[in-house]
A = this chain, B = another copy of it.
Amino acid sequence: MTKRTDRRADALSRERIVEAAIAILDAGGEGALTFRALAARLATGSGAIYWHVADKEALLAAATDHVVTRAMAGAISGVGADGAGPRQAIRVIALGMFDAIDAHPWVGAQFSRAPWQPATLRVFEAIGGRVRALGVPEGAWFNAWSALVTYIFGAAGQNAANARLQAPGTDRSAALADIAGGWARLDPADYPFLRQVAPQLAAHDDRDQFLAGIDLILAGIGTVR
């Protein structure tokens, strides 16, 4: 029972609008997504878009939901019934989120703007279910879950910021070298720690670093008995 308008391949639809929005966001970042640019890409008027989505906030929310849903499907499928424990499942889900935001930095900023979206809820549940399977006492579930999702979504926002700050052409390691260089030049009397870890900042990998944080939280959860 397809709707009449579905016959025209180029008919406007919420789905096509969201896909076009994602393409614009991926190509030019959040600043590039305007209703005029979107209308031009879809060869229609800007007002037409408003027939399918309420406003720009809803459009960004739908685009985020789309990306997260896809990322979660990939992560969860890699964690199926293959006997991987809940600890490993949490790591895989977290990395799935990290990679999704790495590929679509604008998604990261969106979480600290409109949480409680459907896809976010599924990530919450996926983490929560594994926390429960971790074997910690029931009274510790909520805190353990909260620490993990706060870290995962919080890091997402910061990675998005890093990506946005970076000059389009340059790669991450050049940007890190710049920042580390700045740290190395700080006054040693005021900033002994940052000076000391500057070389590690320059050499570190964001993804490994993110995972190390997950592991520290998991280790902390493991101490709760």
Contacts and interface: CB of A to CB of B under 8 A. Distances in A.
Contact of A158 (B145, B153, B201): B153
Nearest to A141: B197
A2 interface: no
Contacts of A204: 142, 146
A50 interface: no
Contacts of A121: 186, 191, 194
A131 B194 CA distance: 12
Contacts of A218: 220
Contact of A146 (B124, B129, B146, B209): B209
Interface stretch (A11-19, A73-81, A106-114): A106-114
A217 to B, nearest CB: 6
Interface in A172-225: 179, 182, 186, 190-194, 196-197, 200-201, 204, 209-210, 212-213, 215-224
Interface string A91-133: 0000000000000000011011111100001001100110110
A186 B161 CA distance: 33
Contacts of A56: none
A164 interface: yes
B129 A193 contact: yes
